[in-house]
């Protein structure tokens, strides 16, 4: 059983992970589509007065095979991260990384201009940026 | 303990509290161990690998180019850095670790010392 002891699991790290998983499961999630299994890719969404920005933390993908679609204000990020086949005679000690197909869906605000969407993949993060329509930006209304 | 070590210990404690735990895969074969870790958003310059006595520390800072006036509306990645520590065992050879980092995935190969590799022992029959 020496093999098992090579990378002893850090009990505190495990507890932290467990706590985080539970937190995620108990979170009241307003989105009807919920949260993806294994939370891959994790999403951060932010915006400025001019744009809406989505950051998908999706490491280890071929950018050519990420499917990004924007339809009727709904952004879909889909793809597949292939499972690594361990070499023959190899022992898997820890297997935590996500493998398989994924799909994450984000509702975007109504004021976006779908023609301006841009996507870029760097350091394992997919950044999708959509400009807001000019008319939607705050305007000062003159009073006669 | 002088002031410098106290400060660095405090910093380390702070970092330990405020870091994400990156998911890893660890696979072992006859000649060594392969560790892969997901560290999206970390550039090569902001990745740090340290071997200290018999522990391996993986640390990375997330660097995203954000506009100055960005307001977050939803964040699943809520901390700016990753950190994870592993204990290495004696038969591994930390001097010959090789690392590759591509699109947020770190791959480490930790070979076993030659004397630790399995040998077939002949059973003598009399």
pLDDT tens across A57-99, in order? 999 999 999 999 999 989 999 999 988 887 778 888 988 899 9
CB contact residues (below 8 A), chain A span 9-38, against chain B: 10, 13, 16-17
Asked if pLDDT for residue A20 goes beyond 90, the answer is no
What are the chain B neighbours of A8 within 8 Å (beta carbons)?
87
Q: What is the DSSP letter of B117?
A: S
Per-residue pLDDT of chain B (126 residues; tens, 9 = 90+): 444 445 455 555 554 567 899 999 999 988 899 999 999 999 999 999 998 878 899 999 999 888 778 888 888 888 899 999 999 888 888 888 999 999 999 999 999 888 766 777 788 887
Quick one: pLDDT band at residue A36, thresholds 50, 70, 90? very low
Domains of chain A by residue range: 37-83+97-135
- Cα A79 to the center of its chain, rounded Å: 11
Whether residues A92 and B70 touch (CB distance < 8 A) is answered with no
* Residue partners of B61: CB distance under 8 A and separation at least 6: B42, B46, B80, B81
Quick one: pLDDT band at residue A30, thresholds 50, 70, 90? very low
Task: Give how far Cα A60 sits from Cα of A33, A87, A114, A125, B107, Å.
Answer: 25, 19, 27, 9, 11
CA-nearest residue of chain A to B87?
A: A7
Q: What is the pLDDT of residue A27?
A: 47
Whether residues B28 and A93 touch (CB distance < 8 A) is answered with yes
Task: Give how far Cα A81 sits from Cα of A34, A35, A42, Å.
Answer: 21, 18, 14
Are the beta carbons of A67 and A81 closer than 8 angstroms? Answer: no
Picking from B50, B107, B83, B26, the residue whose alpha carbon sits closest to that of residue A16 is B83
CB contact residues (below 8 A), chain A span 67-86, against chain B: 84, 86
What are the chain B neighbours of A2 within 8 Å (beta carbons)?
89
Sheet holding B71-75, edge to edge: A118-122, A125-131, A51-57, A42-47, B71-75
Q: Does residue A42 sit at the B interface (CB-CB below 8 Å)?
A: yes
Separation in Å, CA of A142 to nearest CA in chain B: 27
Q: What is the DSSP letter of A117?
A: -
Q: Is A18 helix (H, G, I), strand (E, B) or coil?
A: helix
Q: In this complex, which of B28, B30, B71 lies closest to A6 when CB atoms are compared?
A: B28
Instruction: Please identify, in words, the CATH class of the domain defined by A37-83+97-135.
Output: mainly beta
- Angle A40-A67-A36 (CA atoms, 0-180°, nearest 5)? 25
Per-residue tokens: B122: 């002949």
What domains can you pick out in chain B, each with its CATH number?
Answer: 3-116 (2.60.40.790)
Whether the link from the prior residue into A41 is cis, omega within 30° of 0, is: yes
Given 3-state DSSP classes, what are the helix, strand and coil percentages for chain B, each rounded to the nearest 5?
Answer: 15, 45, 35
């Amino acid at each position: 059983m020496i093999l098992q002891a090579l990378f002893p699991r850090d009990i505190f790290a495990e507890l932290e992970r467990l706590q985080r998983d539970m937190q995620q499961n108990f979170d009241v999630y307003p989105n009807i589509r919920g949260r993806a299994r294994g939370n891959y890719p994790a999403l951060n969404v932010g915006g400025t007065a001019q744009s809406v920005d989505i950051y998908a933390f999706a490491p280890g993908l071929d950018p050519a095979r990420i499917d990004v679609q924007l339809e009727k204000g709904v952004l879909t990020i889909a793809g597949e991260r292939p499972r690594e086949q361990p070499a023959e005679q190899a022992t898997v000690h820890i297997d935590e990384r996500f493998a398989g197909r994924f799909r994450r869906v984000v509702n975007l605000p109504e004021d976006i201009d779908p023609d301006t969407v841009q996507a870029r993949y760097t350091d394992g993060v997919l950044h999708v940026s959509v400009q807001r329509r000019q008319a939607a930006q705050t305007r000062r209304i003159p009073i006669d | 303990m002088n002031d410098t070590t106290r400060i660095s210990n405090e910093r380390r404690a702070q970092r330990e509290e405020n870091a994400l735990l990156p998911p890893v895969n660890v696979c072992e074969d006859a000649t060594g161990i392969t560790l892969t870790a997901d560290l999206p958003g970390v550039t090569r310059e902001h990745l740090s690998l340290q071997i200290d006595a018999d522990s391996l520390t993986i640390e990375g800072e997330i660097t995203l180019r954000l506009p100055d006036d960005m307001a977050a509306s939803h964040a699943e990645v809520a901390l700016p850095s990753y950190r994870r520590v592993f204990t290495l065992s004696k038969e591994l050879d930390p001097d010959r670790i090789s690392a590759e980092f591509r699109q947020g995935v770190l791959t480490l190969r930790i070979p076993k010392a030659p004397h630790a590799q399995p040998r077939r022992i002949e059973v003598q029959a009399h």
